[in-house]
């Protein structure tokens, strides 16, 4: 199976975030009842992180450009 590298950038709009990774706790945390503003604040300040692959789904709008392919 070929393995390649590539760069990408873009936007995902309307992602349903139900779980985040809490960096201090070292585990996933359910945020399904947390206000979006609180989720964004914690993501921006580095307290939490999210998975890009989990955020991409059929019900969100995404614009992702892939570039710079390398072997």
Tell me the mean pLDDT in the region 48-69: 86
Total domains in the chain come to 1
Residue 34 lies in a domain: yes
- Note whether residue 24 is domain-resident: yes
The verdict on residue 48 lying in a domain is: yes
Q: Which domain holds residue 21?
A: 16-57
Percent of the residues in the chain that have a pLDDT greater than 70, as a whole number:
97
Residue 27 lies in a domain: yes
Q: Is residue 9 part of a domain?
A: no
Residue 58 has pLDDT above 80, yes or no: no
Count of residues in the chain: 71
The stretch 12-41 carries a mean pLDDT of 95
Q: Taking 90 as the threshold, does the pLDDT of residue 61 lie above it?
A: no
Is residue 27 over pLDDT 80? yes
Residue 22 has pLDDT above 90, yes or no: yes
Q: In this structure, is residue 8 part of a structural domain?
A: no
Residue-by-residue DSSP string for 1-69: ----EEEEEEEEES----EEEETTTTEEEE-TTS-HHHHHHHHHTTSEE--HHHH--TTSEEEEEEEEE
Whether 70 is in a domain gets the answer: no
């Amino acid at each position: 199976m070929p393995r390649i590298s590539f760069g990408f950038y873009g936007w995902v709009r309307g992602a349903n975030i139900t779980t985040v990774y809490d960096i201090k706790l070292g585990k996933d945390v359910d945020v399904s009842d947390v206000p979006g503003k609180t989720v964004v604040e914690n993501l921006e300040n580095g307290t939490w992180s999210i998975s890009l692959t989990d955020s991409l789904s059929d019900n969100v709008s995404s614009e992702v450009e892939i570039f710079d392919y390398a072997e």
